Chain A
Amino acid sequence: MKRRMFLLAGLVLPLLIGISFAQESRHFYNVDSEKRIEGIIREINMEPRYRGSAPFLVIKLESLDTHTVYNVEISPAWFFAMDVHKGEDMEVLGSFYQSDRREPGIIAREIRFRGETFLLRDKHGFPNWRGGQKGRKGHRRGKKIKK
């Protein structure tokens, strides 16, 4: 009885406050599983990935060598201010994960697109749109920051 009361208090209080969050994505940026993929954009989507965050630009990228299709999570759409079209080439460096139900996925850290390189996260996976890479020359929303 005592245990149940304790559990009830622990569970109900946060719910009453109404502040709780959990990410839609079950995957985090795992630096141990970084992978570089070069492929062709097959599909462009806007998906809610993390609770409380703006919809993300997510593309399906077909690998040039294995023809595997990857779900590539780029960044919030407002951050990556480039028009992306199907059939264009893109090279992605990011954290690879295997989804149970969908295609394998990649959380992108660095993108080479139309000859330019974009850094979306730092080497530990911290998102640049949340203050990462501050003070870096040329850093603006979605602009290239190195060639």
Chain B
Amino acid sequence: MTKKNFLFFYIPLTGFLIIFFVFSFLNRAYIQGRVKALVDEQLLATAGILKVHFSRLLEAEYAPDEIFALFPEEEDIYYMALLDESGKLLGWRSRFEGYLPLTDEMIGERRSWIIESPVGRIFNAITSFSLSGEKKYYLYLGYSLKNLEEMMAHSRNNFYLILALIFGVGVLFSIGLYRFQLNYVEKKRELDEEKKEKKRYQEISALTSGVAHEIKNPLNSLALLFEWLHKRAAPGTGEKIAYGKEEIRKISKIVDQFSTALKPIDLHKETFSLTEIISEARSSIDISSREKDVNIRFPQNDDIVMSADKGLIRQAVLNLISNATEASGRGEVKIRAEKVKGRTVLSIQDFGRGMTEDEKKHIFEPFFSTKTSGMGIGLYIVKKIIDAHQGKIRVESEWGKGTTVIVEIPGG
């Protein structure tokens, strides 16, 4: 991943996480503040209720210790104390032996505060009350904030969980987006290259077609001239003139092949039997295959019917069987045709020397050949024909074991 890509994908994610964090933090702080304020009010209200009870009991002349003994133990009230106007302790009780975190400075204007303790935070409140407008007392309460802390911890955990989830999802999303972008860039690059290649091919095609056409005319004249000379040849020169004629014929054939290879394919589809095409092709190269001691096997009785350009398919099949026969040396060639999920699949297998990985990469390129004879445009034309039919062609080959060419043509 480049630095630019990293910035492009991760800075927005980081920014989003920071915004979320800050927003959630402020929101949480606000809610916590509000909850604390509510708890504060609630606890002061509780203190207010207790004050009423205390004042009534004190007026009824109950001793402070007696009053404390009357109140049931509340789980959330850790300690409570009653003080007189001068701050002298009149009575108290605590859930923890001797623990009453009351200091002289706490008695006065201070209304409520929170302290830390080994059992969590404790809300402390001191409120004053008077008996019939005369004697003033202070009630000191220590209230457990355990439930509030549990709630806060729960909220904090949820916050971190959501943050982690957003981070995880964000990272996955970014990775997905990054891969998508990589694929897009790669596809675009391939398309651009393909476009350039097509343009180059069109230019070369136009040029080569022109050259082929220009060669053909003088070649025809030359062929006619040699024919004329052959008829009037002086004794002993006929053989040399015949050799010249043969050479002209070879040049003409090469030019024809060029023209065929470069000519754009115009499909004329019809329905025909592929089985028949294969049988015909096998028959046409039967003599040469027998000469090479190659057995072409096509053990198939099913009639495979397909819709395609019969002439082109025939040409492709012929090329493939011919190539396989030449590649096999001495041995056999297996042909198989079948219908698979609406596609016509033809495979031609030889047991020759096979191909190297490098050969496999270039096998469909024009003028590439592993043979000593031939121009190397046979498989190029086959691929062109298959491509024109929106089909696929692939090669499976293992060095020393042979090669299988598999052709798939949609429809049938």
Contact = CB atoms under 8 A, between A and B. Distances in A.
**A and B bind:** yes
Interface of A: 3, 6-7, 10-11, 13-15, 17, 19-23, 25, 27-32, 49-50, 53, 56, 73, 76, 95, 107, 121-122, 124-127, 130-134
Contact of B100 (A13, A28, A53, A76): A28
A120 B101 CA distance: 16
Interface residues of B, number: 29
Contact of A14 (B72, B81, B89): B72
Given A28-B100, A126-B99, A131 B65 contact: no
B71 interface: yes
Contact of A28 (B57, B72, B92): B92
Contacts of B302: none
Contacts of A125: 98-101
A2 B70 CA distance: 20
Contact of B93 (A19, A21, A122, A124): A21
Nearest to A128: B118
A14 B66 CA distance: 12
Contacts of B98: 23, 25, 27-29, 49-50, 73, 95, 107, 121, 125, 127
A49 B98 CA distance: 9
B56 A127 contact: no
A57 to B, nearest CB: 12
B118 A126 contact: yes
Contact of B102 (A3, A22, A27, A28): A28
Highest count of chain A CB atoms <10 Å: which of B81, B93, B98, B118: B98
Contact of A49 (B68, B71, B97, B102): B97
B59 to A, nearest CB: 9
Contact of B56 (A7, A124, A131): A7
Contacts of A50: 97-98
A131 B101 contact: no
A67 to B, nearest CB: 26
A122 B118 contact: yes
Given A3-B56, A22-B93, A134-B118, A11 B70 contact: yes
B96 A130 contact: yes
B99 A19 contact: no
Contacts of A30: 100, 102-103
B70 A32 contact: no
Interface string B65-80: 1001111110000000
Contacts of B68: 22
Given A19-B73, A31-B101, A125-B98, A130 B118 contact: yes
